[in-house]
Structure 1
Protein backbone atom coordinates (compact mmCIF):
# COMPACT_ATOMS: atom_id res chain seq x y z
CA UNK A 1 0.00 0.00 0.00
CA UNK A 2 2.86 2.40 0.74
CA UNK A 3 3.87 2.40 -2.93
CA UNK A 4 0.50 3.54 -4.25
CA UNK A 5 0.71 6.96 -5.89
CA UNK A 6 -1.96 9.37 -7.03
CA UNK A 7 -2.02 11.22 -10.35
CA UNK A 8 0.30 13.93 -8.99
CA UNK A 9 2.92 11.48 -7.78
CA UNK A 10 1.98 11.88 -4.13
CA UNK A 11 1.42 8.91 -1.89
CA UNK A 12 -2.25 7.98 -1.95
CA UNK A 13 -3.87 7.86 1.52
CA UNK A 14 -4.12 4.39 3.04
CA UNK A 15 -7.80 3.85 3.77
CA UNK A 16 -9.17 1.18 6.09
CA UNK A 17 -12.87 0.33 5.82
CA UNK A 18 -13.56 -1.61 9.00
CA UNK A 19 -16.72 -3.53 9.88
CA UNK A 20 -17.02 -4.26 13.60
CA UNK A 21 -19.58 -6.17 15.64
CA UNK A 22 -20.62 -9.66 16.70
CA UNK A 23 -22.47 -11.73 14.08
CA UNK A 24 -23.74 -14.08 16.82
CA UNK A 25 -26.17 -11.47 18.15
CA UNK A 26 -28.53 -10.52 15.32
CA UNK A 27 -28.18 -6.83 14.34
CA UNK A 28 -24.85 -6.59 16.19
CA UNK A 29 -23.36 -8.07 13.03
CA UNK A 30 -24.44 -5.22 10.76
CA UNK A 31 -20.98 -3.70 10.29
CA UNK A 32 -19.34 -7.03 9.54
CA UNK A 33 -22.06 -8.10 7.10
CA UNK A 34 -21.96 -4.75 5.29
CA UNK A 35 -18.20 -4.80 4.72
CA UNK A 36 -18.41 -8.50 3.80
CA UNK A 37 -20.89 -7.70 1.03
CA UNK A 38 -18.95 -4.61 -0.04
CA UNK A 39 -15.83 -6.74 -0.55
CA UNK A 40 -17.82 -9.43 -2.34
CA UNK A 41 -19.31 -7.02 -4.88
CA UNK A 42 -16.67 -4.29 -5.31
CA UNK A 43 -12.92 -4.03 -5.76
CA UNK A 44 -10.73 -1.03 -5.03
CA UNK A 45 -7.19 0.29 -5.55
CA UNK A 46 -4.42 -1.16 -3.40
CA UNK A 47 -4.53 1.75 -0.96
CA UNK A 48 -8.01 0.67 0.23
CA UNK A 49 -8.31 -2.22 2.68
CA UNK A 50 -11.65 -3.81 3.59
CA UNK A 51 -11.59 -5.67 6.89
CA UNK A 52 -13.88 -7.73 9.10
CA UNK A 53 -12.84 -6.44 12.51
CA UNK A 54 -15.39 -8.51 14.42
CA UNK A 55 -14.85 -8.07 18.15
CA UNK A 56 -11.04 -8.15 18.07
CA UNK A 57 -10.53 -5.03 20.18
CA UNK A 58 -6.89 -4.10 20.71
CA UNK A 59 -5.77 -6.64 18.12
CA UNK A 60 -6.97 -4.07 15.57
CA UNK A 61 -4.48 -1.44 16.75
CA UNK A 62 -1.72 -2.26 14.19
CA UNK A 63 -4.22 -1.88 11.35
CA UNK A 64 -5.26 1.56 12.58
CA UNK A 65 -1.63 2.58 12.97
CA UNK A 66 -1.00 1.78 9.31
CA UNK A 67 -4.01 3.74 8.03
CA UNK A 68 -4.27 7.41 7.09
CA UNK A 69 -8.07 7.28 7.08
CA UNK A 70 -10.57 5.01 8.81
CA UNK A 71 -14.20 4.35 7.94
CA UNK A 72 -15.90 2.33 10.70
CA UNK A 73 -19.18 0.54 9.94
CA UNK A 74 -21.20 -0.60 12.96
CA UNK A 75 -24.58 -1.02 14.63
CA UNK A 76 -25.01 2.08 16.80
CA UNK A 77 -27.65 2.92 19.38
CA UNK A 78 -28.76 6.42 18.46
CA UNK A 79 -32.06 6.07 20.30
CA UNK A 80 -33.78 6.37 16.92
CA UNK A 81 -36.17 4.07 15.02
CA UNK A 82 -34.58 0.78 13.89
CA UNK A 83 -32.77 1.12 10.59
CA UNK A 84 -31.96 4.83 11.00
CA UNK A 85 -28.49 5.61 9.66
CA UNK A 86 -26.12 8.36 10.75
CA UNK A 87 -22.60 9.37 9.74
CA UNK A 88 -20.12 11.00 12.12
CA UNK A 89 -16.73 12.57 11.39
CA UNK A 90 -13.57 13.35 13.32
CA UNK A 91 -13.81 13.83 17.08
CA UNK A 92 -17.46 12.79 17.02
CA UNK A 93 -16.43 9.17 16.35
CA UNK A 94 -14.69 8.22 19.63
CA UNK A 95 -16.94 10.55 21.60
CA UNK A 96 -20.08 8.92 20.26
CA UNK A 97 -18.80 5.37 20.73
CA UNK A 98 -18.00 6.25 24.33
CA UNK A 99 -21.40 7.78 25.03
CA UNK A 100 -23.55 5.14 23.33
CA UNK A 101 -21.95 1.78 24.12
CA UNK A 102 -24.25 -1.17 23.43
CA UNK A 103 -21.85 -4.01 24.05
CA UNK A 104 -18.32 -4.98 24.98
CA UNK A 105 -17.13 -4.79 21.37
CA UNK A 106 -17.75 -1.04 21.35
CA UNK A 107 -15.94 -0.62 24.65
CA UNK A 108 -13.01 -2.50 23.12
CA UNK A 109 -12.96 -0.42 19.97
CA UNK A 110 -13.12 2.83 21.91
CA UNK A 111 -9.97 1.63 23.69
CA UNK A 112 -8.35 0.94 20.32
CA UNK A 113 -8.99 4.51 19.20
CA UNK A 114 -7.80 5.90 22.53
CA UNK A 115 -4.60 3.85 22.34
CA UNK A 116 -3.92 4.95 18.77
CA UNK A 117 -4.44 8.58 19.78
CA UNK A 118 -2.18 8.21 22.82
CA UNK A 119 0.57 6.78 20.62
CA UNK A 120 -0.03 9.56 18.06
CA UNK A 121 -0.70 6.88 15.46
CA UNK A 122 -4.40 7.38 14.93
CA UNK A 123 -5.65 7.82 11.36
CA UNK A 124 -5.89 11.51 10.50
CA UNK A 125 -9.43 11.10 9.19
CA UNK A 126 -12.12 9.23 11.14
CA UNK A 127 -15.60 8.44 9.84
CA UNK A 128 -18.30 6.34 11.53
CA UNK A 129 -21.23 4.96 9.55
CA UNK A 130 -23.80 3.39 11.85
CA UNK A 131 -27.31 2.00 11.69
CA UNK A 132 -29.75 1.76 14.59
CA UNK A 133 -30.32 -1.92 15.46
CA UNK A 134 -33.71 -3.49 16.04
CA UNK A 135 -32.71 -6.65 17.92
CA UNK A 136 -29.53 -7.50 19.84
CA UNK A 137 -30.74 -10.39 22.00
CA UNK A 138 -31.28 -13.15 19.43
CA UNK A 139 -28.35 -15.53 19.99
CA UNK A 140 -27.32 -17.14 16.71
CA UNK A 141 -29.72 -14.95 14.77
CA UNK A 142 -29.05 -13.02 11.59
CA UNK A 143 -29.87 -9.43 10.76
CA UNK A 144 -33.49 -8.40 11.17
CA UNK A 145 -35.30 -7.49 7.96
CA UNK A 146 -35.28 -3.82 8.95
CA UNK A 147 -31.53 -3.66 9.42
CA UNK A 148 -30.71 -6.04 6.56
CA UNK A 149 -32.53 -3.61 4.25
CA UNK A 150 -29.90 -0.98 5.16
CA UNK A 151 -26.90 -3.02 3.99
CA UNK A 152 -27.15 -2.01 0.31
CA UNK A 153 -27.88 1.70 1.01
CA UNK A 154 -25.00 1.81 3.48
CA UNK A 155 -22.67 0.38 0.85
CA UNK A 156 -23.83 3.26 -1.33
CA UNK A 157 -22.88 5.70 1.45
CA UNK A 158 -19.42 4.12 1.78
CA UNK A 159 -18.85 4.31 -1.98
CA UNK A 160 -19.88 7.97 -1.89
CA UNK A 161 -17.52 8.69 1.02
CA UNK A 162 -14.62 7.00 -0.76
CA UNK A 163 -15.36 9.00 -3.90
CA UNK A 164 -16.08 12.36 -2.28
CA UNK A 165 -13.54 12.35 0.54
CA UNK A 166 -10.66 10.52 -1.14
CA UNK A 167 -11.30 10.44 -4.88
CA UNK A 168 -11.43 6.65 -4.85
CA UNK A 169 -13.69 4.84 -7.30
CA UNK A 170 -14.77 1.27 -6.74
CA UNK A 171 -15.26 -1.14 -9.62
CA UNK A 172 -18.09 -3.64 -9.46
CA UNK A 173 -16.96 -7.25 -9.73
CA UNK A 174 -18.21 -9.40 -12.60
CA UNK A 175 -18.95 -12.18 -10.10
CA UNK A 176 -19.33 -11.98 -6.33
CA UNK A 177 -16.18 -12.88 -4.41
CA UNK A 178 -16.32 -14.89 -1.20
CA UNK A 179 -14.27 -13.31 1.55
CA UNK A 180 -15.73 -15.01 4.64
CA UNK A 181 -15.29 -18.66 5.55
CA UNK A 182 -18.19 -20.50 3.89
CA UNK A 183 -19.75 -21.56 7.19
CA UNK A 184 -20.00 -18.00 8.54
CA UNK A 185 -20.90 -16.15 5.35
CA UNK A 186 -24.25 -14.48 5.86
CA UNK A 187 -26.32 -16.69 3.55
CA UNK A 188 -24.96 -19.97 4.90
CA UNK A 189 -25.00 -18.76 8.50
CA UNK A 190 -28.62 -17.61 8.45
CA UNK A 191 -29.96 -20.46 6.31
CA UNK A 192 -28.35 -23.10 8.51
CA UNK A 193 -29.74 -21.84 11.79
CA UNK A 194 -31.42 -24.51 13.97
CA UNK A 195 -35.00 -24.03 15.13
CA UNK A 196 -35.79 -22.28 18.40
CA UNK A 197 -36.67 -25.68 19.89
CA UNK A 198 -33.21 -27.04 19.05
CA UNK A 199 -31.11 -24.00 19.90
CA UNK A 200 -31.56 -21.44 22.67
CA UNK A 201 -32.09 -17.94 21.26
CA UNK A 202 -31.02 -15.88 24.29
CA UNK A 203 -27.63 -17.42 25.14
CA UNK A 204 -25.89 -20.66 26.04
CA UNK A 205 -28.51 -22.79 27.84
CA UNK A 206 -25.82 -24.36 30.06
CA UNK A 207 -24.78 -20.96 31.39
CA UNK A 208 -28.37 -19.81 31.74
CA UNK A 209 -29.27 -22.94 33.69
CA UNK A 210 -26.31 -22.43 36.04
CA UNK A 211 -27.26 -18.80 36.64
CA UNK A 212 -30.87 -19.79 37.32
CA UNK A 213 -29.78 -22.43 39.84
CA UNK A 214 -27.50 -19.94 41.59
CA UNK A 215 -30.26 -17.34 41.76
CA UNK A 216 -32.70 -19.80 43.32
Structure 2
Protein backbone atom coordinates (compact mmCIF):
# COMPACT_ATOMS: atom_id res chain seq x y z
CA UNK A 1 0.00 0.00 0.00
CA UNK A 2 1.29 3.41 -0.84
CA UNK A 3 0.41 6.62 0.98
CA UNK A 4 0.83 10.33 0.69
CA UNK A 5 3.49 12.35 2.43
CA UNK A 6 1.03 13.67 5.04
CA UNK A 7 1.25 11.90 8.39
CA UNK A 8 -2.28 11.21 9.63
CA UNK A 9 -3.11 10.45 13.26
CA UNK A 10 -6.51 9.06 14.18
CA UNK A 11 -6.83 9.58 17.92
CA UNK A 12 -9.65 7.92 19.85
CA UNK A 13 -9.86 9.45 23.32
CA UNK A 14 -11.95 8.82 26.41
CA UNK A 15 -12.27 6.71 29.51
CA UNK A 16 -13.62 3.24 28.70
CA UNK A 17 -14.71 2.72 32.31
CA UNK A 18 -17.45 5.39 32.11
CA UNK A 19 -19.95 4.12 29.55
CA UNK A 20 -20.09 6.47 26.53
CA UNK A 21 -17.03 8.43 27.68
CA UNK A 22 -15.01 5.61 26.09
CA UNK A 23 -16.65 5.91 22.67
CA UNK A 24 -13.59 7.41 20.94
CA UNK A 25 -11.39 4.59 22.19
CA UNK A 26 -13.94 2.00 21.06
CA UNK A 27 -13.96 3.51 17.56
CA UNK A 28 -10.14 3.34 17.46
CA UNK A 29 -10.24 -0.30 18.59
CA UNK A 30 -12.81 -1.10 15.90
CA UNK A 31 -10.65 0.49 13.20
CA UNK A 32 -7.49 -1.28 14.36
CA UNK A 33 -9.24 -4.65 14.43
CA UNK A 34 -10.98 -4.35 11.04
CA UNK A 35 -8.60 -2.34 8.85
CA UNK A 36 -4.99 -2.19 7.80
CA UNK A 37 -3.77 1.34 7.03
CA UNK A 38 -1.10 2.80 4.78
CA UNK A 39 2.22 3.63 6.41
CA UNK A 40 1.33 7.33 6.75
CA UNK A 41 -1.68 6.56 8.98
CA UNK A 42 -1.54 5.77 12.68
CA UNK A 43 -4.65 4.84 14.67
CA UNK A 44 -4.08 5.36 18.37
CA UNK A 45 -6.11 4.54 21.45
CA UNK A 46 -5.37 7.77 23.33
CA UNK A 47 -7.54 6.85 26.30
CA UNK A 48 -6.97 9.44 29.01
CA UNK A 49 -3.27 9.99 28.34
CA UNK A 50 -3.54 13.79 28.08
CA UNK A 51 -0.12 15.40 27.77
CA UNK A 52 1.50 12.04 26.96
CA UNK A 53 -0.18 12.39 23.55
CA UNK A 54 1.94 15.41 22.68
CA UNK A 55 4.58 13.39 20.82
CA UNK A 56 2.21 11.61 18.43
CA UNK A 57 0.20 14.81 17.91
CA UNK A 58 3.28 16.91 17.11
CA UNK A 59 4.53 14.27 14.67
CA UNK A 60 1.31 14.39 12.62
CA UNK A 61 0.21 16.69 9.81
CA UNK A 62 -3.47 15.79 10.07
CA UNK A 63 -5.14 14.98 13.39
CA UNK A 64 -8.53 13.25 13.42
CA UNK A 65 -9.93 13.09 16.96
CA UNK A 66 -12.84 10.83 17.91
CA UNK A 67 -14.55 11.65 21.20
CA UNK A 68 -17.87 12.42 22.79
CA UNK A 69 -19.01 16.03 22.79
CA UNK A 70 -21.73 17.97 24.56
CA UNK A 71 -23.04 19.95 21.61
CA UNK A 72 -26.74 20.28 22.52
CA UNK A 73 -27.71 17.45 20.18
CA UNK A 74 -29.54 14.19 20.63
CA UNK A 75 -27.67 11.12 21.92
CA UNK A 76 -25.81 9.60 18.97
CA UNK A 77 -25.72 12.79 16.87
CA UNK A 78 -22.43 13.01 14.96
CA UNK A 79 -20.65 16.34 14.61
CA UNK A 80 -17.66 17.22 12.43
CA UNK A 81 -16.02 20.12 14.22
CA UNK A 82 -13.18 22.42 13.23
CA UNK A 83 -11.69 25.65 14.58
CA UNK A 84 -13.79 27.55 17.10
CA UNK A 85 -16.52 24.88 17.15
CA UNK A 86 -13.87 22.30 18.04
CA UNK A 87 -12.62 24.54 20.86
CA UNK A 88 -16.09 24.92 22.35
CA UNK A 89 -16.87 21.21 22.16
CA UNK A 90 -13.53 20.12 23.67
CA UNK A 91 -13.73 22.60 26.51
CA UNK A 92 -16.50 20.93 28.49
CA UNK A 93 -15.40 20.14 32.00
CA UNK A 94 -17.51 17.04 32.62
CA UNK A 95 -14.94 14.91 30.83
CA UNK A 96 -13.17 12.10 32.61
CA UNK A 97 -9.98 12.83 30.62
CA UNK A 98 -6.94 13.58 32.75
CA UNK A 99 -6.08 16.69 30.79
CA UNK A 100 -8.31 18.68 28.52
CA UNK A 101 -7.44 17.95 24.89
CA UNK A 102 -7.33 21.67 24.16
CA UNK A 103 -4.62 22.08 26.80
CA UNK A 104 -2.60 19.34 25.09
CA UNK A 105 -2.99 21.03 21.70
CA UNK A 106 -2.03 24.37 23.27
CA UNK A 107 1.13 22.82 24.73
CA UNK A 108 2.00 21.37 21.31
CA UNK A 109 1.58 24.85 19.84
CA UNK A 110 3.88 26.40 22.46
CA UNK A 111 6.58 23.85 21.72
CA UNK A 112 6.28 24.50 18.05
CA UNK A 113 4.10 22.07 16.15
CA UNK A 114 0.37 21.59 15.83
CA UNK A 115 -0.99 19.55 12.93
CA UNK A 116 -1.95 21.57 9.84
CA UNK A 117 -5.46 20.23 10.13
CA UNK A 118 -7.38 19.15 13.23
CA UNK A 119 -10.83 17.58 12.86
CA UNK A 120 -13.00 16.38 15.73
CA UNK A 121 -15.60 13.75 14.99
CA UNK A 122 -17.70 14.05 18.10
CA UNK A 123 -20.76 12.11 19.12
CA UNK A 124 -23.33 13.34 21.61
CA UNK A 125 -23.33 10.86 24.53
CA UNK A 126 -26.33 9.23 26.14
CA UNK A 127 -24.57 8.31 29.39
CA UNK A 128 -21.02 9.30 30.32
CA UNK A 129 -21.26 9.18 34.10
CA UNK A 130 -22.11 5.58 35.01
CA UNK A 131 -19.28 3.16 35.70
CA UNK A 132 -19.43 0.52 32.95
CA UNK A 133 -17.18 -0.74 30.18
CA UNK A 134 -20.28 -1.09 27.98
CA UNK A 135 -21.42 1.66 25.67
CA UNK A 136 -25.05 2.74 25.80
CA UNK A 137 -27.13 1.00 23.11
CA UNK A 138 -27.52 4.38 21.33
CA UNK A 139 -23.76 4.79 20.87
CA UNK A 140 -23.05 1.09 20.31
CA UNK A 141 -25.34 1.32 17.29
CA UNK A 142 -23.40 4.35 15.99
CA UNK A 143 -19.97 2.66 15.94
CA UNK A 144 -20.08 1.53 12.28
CA UNK A 145 -21.26 4.94 11.02
CA UNK A 146 -18.61 6.84 12.97
CA UNK A 147 -15.91 4.38 11.86
CA UNK A 148 -17.00 5.04 8.26
CA UNK A 149 -16.79 8.81 8.89
CA UNK A 150 -13.23 8.38 10.20
CA UNK A 151 -12.30 6.32 7.13
CA UNK A 152 -13.68 9.08 4.89
CA UNK A 153 -11.52 11.64 6.74
CA UNK A 154 -8.45 9.40 6.39
CA UNK A 155 -9.09 9.03 2.67
CA UNK A 156 -9.68 12.78 2.23
CA UNK A 157 -6.35 13.48 3.96
CA UNK A 158 -4.47 11.09 1.65
CA UNK A 159 -4.42 7.88 3.66
CA UNK A 160 -5.38 4.44 2.46
CA UNK A 161 -6.92 1.41 4.14
CA UNK A 162 -8.06 -2.11 3.40
CA UNK A 163 -10.22 -4.59 5.25
CA UNK A 164 -8.26 -7.11 7.25
CA UNK A 165 -8.47 -10.76 6.20
CA UNK A 166 -7.24 -14.04 7.60
CA UNK A 167 -3.94 -13.24 5.89
CA UNK A 168 -3.47 -9.94 7.76
CA UNK A 169 -5.28 -10.19 11.12
CA UNK A 170 -5.05 -7.53 13.80
CA UNK A 171 -2.33 -8.18 16.34
CA UNK A 172 -3.41 -5.65 18.97
CA UNK A 173 -5.29 -7.14 21.90
CA UNK A 174 -8.31 -5.41 23.45
CA UNK A 175 -7.78 -5.72 27.19
CA UNK A 176 -11.12 -4.33 28.39
CA UNK A 177 -13.81 -5.71 26.08
CA UNK A 178 -17.11 -3.88 25.90
CA UNK A 179 -20.21 -5.83 26.87
CA UNK A 180 -23.28 -4.19 25.40
CA UNK A 181 -25.60 -6.63 27.15
CA UNK A 182 -24.84 -5.10 30.57
CA UNK A 183 -25.86 -1.53 29.76
CA UNK A 184 -29.42 -1.32 28.52
Normalising by the residue count of structure 2, what TM-score does the alignment of the two structures yield?
Answer: 0.88
Match of 2:43 among 41, 50, 56: 50
- The structure whose Rg is larger is 1
Question: Aligned residue for 2:130?
Answer: 138
Q: Which runs of 4+ in 1 moved over 3 A?
A: none
CA contact (8 A) 1:36 1:180 kept: no
Question: Aligned residue for 2:143?
Answer: 151
1:121 lines up with 2:121 in the alignment: no
CA contact (8 A) 1:55 1:105 kept: yes
Deviations 1:60-95 (A, max 9, x none): 111111111100000111121100000012453234
SS in 2 for 1:127: strand
SS in 2 for 1:123: coil
The alignment's C-alpha RMSD in Å is: 2.2
Match of 2:18 among 25, 41, 46: 25
1:170 lines up with 2:173 in the alignment: no
Distance (Å, rounded) in 2 between the aligned partners of 1:161 and 1:87: 10
Question: Aligned residue for 1:180?
Answer: 173
Question: Aligned residue for 1:105?
Answer: 97
Normalising by the residue count of structure 1, what TM-score does the alignment of the two structures yield?
Answer: 0.76
If asked which structure has higher relative contact order (CA below 8 Å, sep 6+), I would say: 2
CA contact (8 A) 1:90 1:125 kept: no
Further displaced range: 69-78 or 140-149: 140-149
Match of 1:39 among 32, 40, 51: 32
CA contact (8 A) 2:6 2:158 kept: no
Q: Which runs of 5+ in 1 are unaligned?
A: 7-11, 196-216
Deviations 1:102-153 (A, max 9, x none): 3141753221011011222111110000100001122124101101111100
Q: Which runs of 5+ in 2 are unaligned?
A: none
1:69 lines up with 2:67 in the alignment: no
